[in-house]
Structure 1
Amino acid sequence: MEINASNVSVTIDGHDVLVDETVSAIPGRTLALVGPSGCGKTTLLNVLALLRRVNAGRVQLGDQDATRWDDRRRRKFWQQHTAFVFQDYGLIDEESVAYNVALSKLPLLPHRANRMPRVEGILERVGLAGRGEDTVSTLSGGEKQRVGLARAMFRSADVIFADEPTASLDRENRRLVTDFLLQEAARGAAVVIATHDETLMALCDLRFELGHSGSRRGPIPPR
């Protein structure tokens, strides 16, 4: 699924965060949204993910204009086509690891017996074998990020959105996150990453650079 943002502008609290930006997320490619803090990377990622509405411009999913989709159609897009990897993990702390991994495919309980073997297999891939019944609140930060990755793996989504996914992680967890994102693109997903991580952005297929003013200075190929 290709996502195109054309001449999009976003104003938040009277401040122009994005001004006339045009960028595309392409199946099978990794797109790094880069630039200094406050330049609008996360806002642009949220625009592409339909999490943030634009003040001007258009967002298109394939051949469909999604700019003014209502909440029902946006929720359907998130449920059927996307996975998110958040810097703050986006987990439910009081629930189990397995619940959080399979949450994207609710209802979980009626199909628990069928889904648990797949959940356990994915947890093994991220180094959390046998931890499915552990409560998320008992995990370290790196372990929580691994649960977030496992949840994204479980979805096998068409589009992956990752907001600063390697921030504050140790080397092993950064490698795990980076490998996952590259593997998802190799599988055919469109992968959009807002990042300060120079190692990660250098591995991406495309780089879209924003400045403090929100003016466009890309897309450009990775250095």
Structure 2
Amino acid sequence: MQLSADRVSVVIDGKAVLNSASVKAEPGRMLVLAGKSGSGKTTLLNVLGLLGRVGTGSVLVGGQDATTWNDARRRRFWRDHVAFVFQDYGLIEEASVDYNVTVGRRGLFGLRQPELDRVEQVLDHVLLSGRGKEQTARLSGGEKQRVGLARAMFRGADVVLADEPTASLDRKNRELVINFLIEEARRGATVVVATHDEDLMAAGDDLVRLGGA
């Protein structure tokens, strides 16, 4: 699913954060938005993911102008097509690892056996095999980020959006995150990452530097 922003401008609290920015993210490729803090990279990521509104310009999702989509249409887009990987993990701390991996994907009667098998498969892939029943709050920062990766992997989303996903992680966990994002792109997903991590920049297929970074 192609995402593109065409000459978008965003003003926050009276300050121009983006000024006529244009970018395109393609299926099967990782687009890296690089820049220092305040450069607008996270804002542009949010614009592409329809998490933020634009002042001027347009945002296209799969060739459709999504600039004026209402809240219900945006929520359907997130539910059906997008996986998010956030710096602050975006997890339900009091819930189990299993629950966090499958949140938003549970039916009225819970998960069927193939889905339960899939949960264990993705947890194994992120080196958390057998830990699905643990409370998420008890995990380390690196482990929580890996739960976020497992959740994105479980969804098999068309679009993966990651905001500073390697920040504050040790080398082992950083490498795991970077490899996951590469794998998602190779799977055919449209991957967009906002980062100032040089290793993650080097791993991307396309690089856009913002704010003179």
Work out whether the TM-score is over 0.5.
yes
CA apart distance, 1:4? 1.0
**Contact kept? 1:104, 1:155, Cα under 8 Å:** no
Aligned length: 213
Q: Report matched runs for 1:39-78 at 5 Å.
A: 39-78=39-78
Instruction: Tell me the equivalent position of 2:118.
Output: 118
> What is the CA-CA distance between 1:79 and the residue it aligns to?
0.6
CA distance in 2, matches of 1:40, 1:65: 22
* Amino acid in the other structure paired with 2:16: D
Equivalents in 2 of 1:108, 1:172: separation in Å? 38
Alpha-carbon distance, 1:188 to partner:
0.6
Match of 1:205? Answer: 205
* Distance of 1:183 and 1:161 partners within structure 2: 14
The one-letter code of the counterpart of 1:106 is R
Q: Which amino acid in the other structure matches residue 57 of structure 1?
A: G
Q: Distance in 1 between matches of 2:15 and 2:113?
A: 50
Deviation at 1:152, TM superposition (A): 0.4
Q: Which runs of 5+ in 1 are unaligned?
A: 218-223
- Say whether residues 1:187 and 2:183 are aligned partners: no
**What aligned pairs does 1:1-223 form with structure 2 within 5 A after superposition?**
1-107=1-107, 109-211=109-211
For the residues of structure 2 that align with 1:201 and 1:104, how far apart are their CA atoms? Answer: 31
1:109 shift after superposition:
4.4
1:149, CA displacement in angstroms?
Answer: 0.4
Task: Report the identity percentage.
Answer: 61
The amino acid across from 1:24 in the alignment is K
Distance 1:103 1:112 in 2: 14
| C-alpha distance in structure 2 between counterparts of 1:132 and 1:108, whole Å | 20
Q: TM-score when scaled to structure 2?
A: 0.97
Q: Report the alpha carbon displacement of residue 177 of structure 1 after superposing the two structures with TM.
A: 0.3
SS of the aligned residue for 2:111 comes to: helix
Measured after TM superposition, the shift of residue 63 of structure 1 is 2.1
Gaps of 5+ in 2: none
Deviations 1:195-215 (A, max 9, x none): 010011011111111116xxx
Partner of 1:221: none
C-alpha spacing 1:106/1:10, structure 2 compared with 1 (3 Å): farther
Give the SS at the match of 1:111: coil
Q: Tell me which amino acid in the other structure corresponds to 2:156.
A: S
Letter in 2 for 1:16: A
- Is the alpha carbon distance of 1:106 and 1:75 closer, same or farther for their aligned partners in structure 2, counting shifts above 3 Å? farther
Shift of 1:108: 6.7
